[in-house]
Structure 1
Amino acid sequence: MKRFLHSITTLLIGCMFSCTPDKYEVVEMGTVDMSNIKEIKLRTNHFQVLADGKAQLEFCPLLITEDGFEVHDGRVDHSLIEYYTSTGEILSKIYSTSDKSLIGQEIKVYAKIKGQDVTSNTIAFSIADPSILDTYTEITIPIVFHLVQSNNDIIEYGGEIPQERINLLLDKINNTFSGAVSQNAMGVDTKIRFKAALYDPSGNKLREPGINRIRIDEVSDAANDQYKTLLAEQKALWPHDKYLNVWLISDRNNEYTSFHSTISTQCIPRYVYPGTDLFEQPEGLALADQPTNWEPVANEIGILYKLQSIQTMVRSFMKSDNEFVNCFGFYLGLLPTWETYIFFGYPEDYCTDTQKYCGYDTEGYQNNTTQYKLVGDCFFLAENIMDDPVGVHRSISLQQSVRMRWILNNCPERSAWKSDFAFTGK
């Protein structure tokens, strides 16, 4: 007991001499005094904005104090910052327009602090034409989720995946493709929708809309062919011209340590109808004529995704696992907008209206390693469907939409939207 009391006394005395107030770093938490600002670095969250009256472009000022410190955005009173075009027009922090006469024009903007001489650099953005969207009719793609689980997985890990969870996944996908949850400067309503199938291939009504449950003794890729043999044996390849097959496969034992990058990202378009002009195909894809005696396999006609990842949503910069909706981008012919390391160089997705970046950009804005990215004059939230794993995946750009429409119209393995069998059973 005496030894214990002696130890406590020693600890308290040590704190009295070593933990004095001058040893603590003082962190400013209140609103910054604008008179202490010596520089404004102005950026936008995009280099283009659609003239549709809904898309929003945001001005992102970074304030630098007299001492050279970057001010956290939460400490900035944005009502004290003004934005001017090069022609003298005053803009608000959020810019949106429906003025079609501006299409194709470049707008130059700078910022200044009210009542002070501090003025930012000048940045530029352009106004994009959204008119192609007016030509789109709505496409409805019948979808069936094949839930592949082992008996052990169901018994020991909380039972079967409930239908409510699948409904939520479908809601997120449709919210992303409709642009309902994003006001991105180039985000659009693709007019592509996914709807749960009501009937199986035999015309029988499904007990649960959009769900085919497959319960087996063991889920294993014994044939080492990315589950192609397993799914064929389980009769889980429903006709590709009537259904979008999505296989959510239980990999509880991590048979594939990087399921997404080795399997999910291989679910891409491969074929076109004979006679299709391949010079018009989206760049970056190796499409060929549909083989004469083609027998489809899983990764040609659907999406394979690790079941456990819809529960945990594990994300990392090492491409080990990206969010479920990202797979729909690969399925419809989109390419990643980001690269892991800077020495690989910026990626090319062949869409002129997406942000291209590397995962470890650390310039400014407090060492950019979160969902917010910095590339040149753009400081933006990584919200595109093809952004990196820590992105929020809720936006699709105009050019991405054009690319996906081409795939749906020209690839036979993406033709389920042309049939209503899944909704009528006949």
Structure 2
Amino acid sequence: MNIKSILFLCIFAIVGCSPDDFNFAQMEYQVDKVVCQANANYFTTDGVSQLGLQVKLYTKSGTYKDVNGQIQNQYSEIPKSRWRQHNIKFFDRSGKEYPSNYTTTEFTTSTLDFYAEVDGIRSSKPILQELAEHPLTGNAIPEDPNPVYFRMNIRQPYPTPALKKIPIVFHIVDLESVRDRSQELNSDAIYYVIQMFNNVFGRKAANASNGANTNIEFVPVIRDPKGNILFEKGINRVYLTDEQHFEQFNADYVFNNPSMYWDVDKYLNVWILNHNSWANTSQSNRYSRSLPFVFAKGKYDASAFPLPKSIAIKELQNQQEEDNWEKKPNYLENVGIVFHKSSDGFAQLYPAYVSQLSAFLGVIPNSSVNDTSVQFGSPKTWVDDYCDDTFAYNQYYAGTSQGGLASTVFGNSRIKYTVEINAAKNAGKPGYPWITYESVNTGEQSSDQSIITQDQAKRIEWTLNNAFARQMWKDSYAIAP
């Protein structure tokens, strides 16, 4: 057997063992299309935020017939894990080159347009694939022969608020039989989640282009309401008998049990439950329940802190009513965070960890039209999150079964596909520019939630200063040495 044959067999064997079944023929590919995008289309000039420009590479995979009977190219994305070495560059409209990790504190323009070049191939319009008809005009969408840019909105940073230390306690509610079998949740899982909270809300997880620092530190408490020092910082373990767990356990059981419901003015309560009632019902409503809606009389300002119309704002009238509400609110999620031990896959990087906490602090969740956990009202419809630097689930990518405008294969809540709709309506043609980006803010219902945006940070700061059960940061009793 000659050397060439041996090498061929070795390469074939290696590729044959690839986990995603990548075959030998696919090792050589041709880049036929390049798309320029980023993690957002807002760029903050704070010296920390990075442009985060990135490219998607595509190869031709066939053709399809558009609504006018014209044949259009169909493309398949080349997985980044399979890329060979490419020469990737980014330029603004003037031709000035920028690195993807570019930061600055000095921009005077309100927008900046970028394009990419990969091995000399200039970026063009994002892939539409199955969306062969523009939803606004009914016209086919061929490849645009004119230069296409990724538009970044430039904004100055909001001031970082003063540090707020939030005392946090995790009530791990379990069966006595679980303890007897040594199947308890390990404390490392709790500290992992606390660190995750601090990384995201303290802006230590990513330098995304539209990120902000809420300057919140979640501190594991060291003492319970009676002053007893906890054996494990930030952890309160509660064990129930079978009868208590299966026959008596509900929200009222928690509210009336001082061993697992601590003063919301001193503690951020996080409950880890292993009860089916929360797995089946609370999970589908936790985000709407988590949003703050109770304020002191005269304190709620709808212009400063708009909420969905279906959220009934409650302004407390007097101290007695305030005390009654805090002792027994409508749901556990009104005054704390609820995780289900099994269905949430605790100690894995699931979106419930960060997204529910951000909702508790005032961020309106952002997801697909058919995602019942983040919809409000009847019939269920999507709502505005009142943040200019985020976008709602995009109707261009949503299939008709999800309330979208066309049947597509891009039902991903992270993928944002924006267009200047007014320009399209007025001109009777697709808006300019088409922009695609993969959002990673905490309002997303995805596994990648690493930033708080500037506008989300403003909502969180207002919540911490005005909403009930969100002002435990004012009392250091539980964390003071």
TM-score by length of 2: 0.70
Which residue of the partner structure matches residue 454 of structure 2? Answer: 398
Matching residue within 36, 47, 51 for 2:41: 47
Which residue of the partner structure matches residue 84 of structure 1? Answer: 91
Matching residue within 252, 267, 283 for 1:260: 283
Which residue of the partner structure matches residue 206 of structure 1? Answer: 230
Partners of 2:453 and 2:437 in 1: how far apart?
A: 14
Which residue of the partner structure matches residue 289 of structure 1? Answer: 315
* Mean Cα deviation higher: 226-235 or 47-56: 226-235
Deviation digits for residues 178-212 of structure 1, max 9, x if unmatched? 12122222122210111011111112211211111
Deviation digits for residues 346-369 of structure 1, max 9, x if unmatched? 642111112322597479xx9546
Partners of 1:259 and 1:44 in 2: how far apart?
A: 34
Matching residue within 159, 171, 186 for 1:146: 171
Which residue of the partner structure matches residue 328 of structure 1? Answer: 357
The alignment status of 1:29 with 2:26, answered yes or no, reads: yes
Report SS of the residue matched to 1:305.
strand
Distance 1:31 1:55, change over 3 A: farther
> How many residue pairs end up in the alignment?
384
Which residue of the partner structure matches residue 58 of structure 1? Answer: 53
Partners of 1:223 and 1:118 in 2: how far apart?
A: 61
- Give 1:305-316 correspondences, 5 Å limit: 305-309=339-343, 311=345
Query: What are structure 2's unaligned runs of at least 5 residues?
Result: 1-20, 63-72, 125-146, 372-378, 419-433
The answer to whether the Cα contact below 8 Å between 1:241 and 1:419 also exists between their aligned partners in 2 is yes
Matching residue within 202, 207, 220 for 1:178: 202
Partners of 2:231 and 2:123 in 1: how far apart?
A: 66
Work out the percentage of aligned pairs sharing the same amino acid.
Answer: 21
The alignment status of 1:416 with 2:451, answered yes or no, reads: no
Query: What are structure 1's unaligned runs of at least 5 residues?
Result: 1-23, 316-320
The answer to whether the Cα contact below 8 Å between 2:394 and 2:413 also exists between their aligned partners in 1 is no
- Give 1:255-404 correspondences, 5 Å limit: 256-263=279-286, 265-284=288-307, 286-292=312-318, 293=320, 294=322, 295=324, 296=326, 297=328, 298-309=332-343, 311=345, 322-341=351-370, 347-357=383-393, 361=398, 367-368=409-410, 373-376=415-418, 377-388=434-445, 390-404=446-460
* Mean Cα deviation higher: 263-272 or 336-345: 336-345
User: How much does 1:81 deviate?
Assistant: 4.1
Which residue of the partner structure matches residue 72 of structure 1? Answer: 78
- Give 1:128-139 correspondences, 5 Å limit: 128-133=155-160, 136-139=161-164
Deviation digits for residues 28-81 of structure 1, max 9, x if unmatched? 4335345xx3x4443333211111232222132444449643341435557434
> What letter matches 2:391 in structure 1?
Q
> What letter matches 1:266 in structure 2?
R
The alignment status of 1:98 with 2:104, answered yes or no, reads: yes
The answer to whether the Cα contact below 8 Å between 2:416 and 2:436 also exists between their aligned partners in 1 is yes
User: How much does 1:118 deviate?
Assistant: 8.0
The answer to whether the Cα contact below 8 Å between 1:54 and 1:183 also exists between their aligned partners in 2 is yes
Partners of 1:263 and 1:149 in 2: how far apart?
A: 21
User: How much does 1:101 deviate?
Assistant: 3.0
> What letter matches 2:352 in structure 1?
E
> What letter matches 1:100 in structure 2?
E
User: How much does 1:114 deviate?
Assistant: 4.7
> What letter matches 1:269 in structure 2?
P
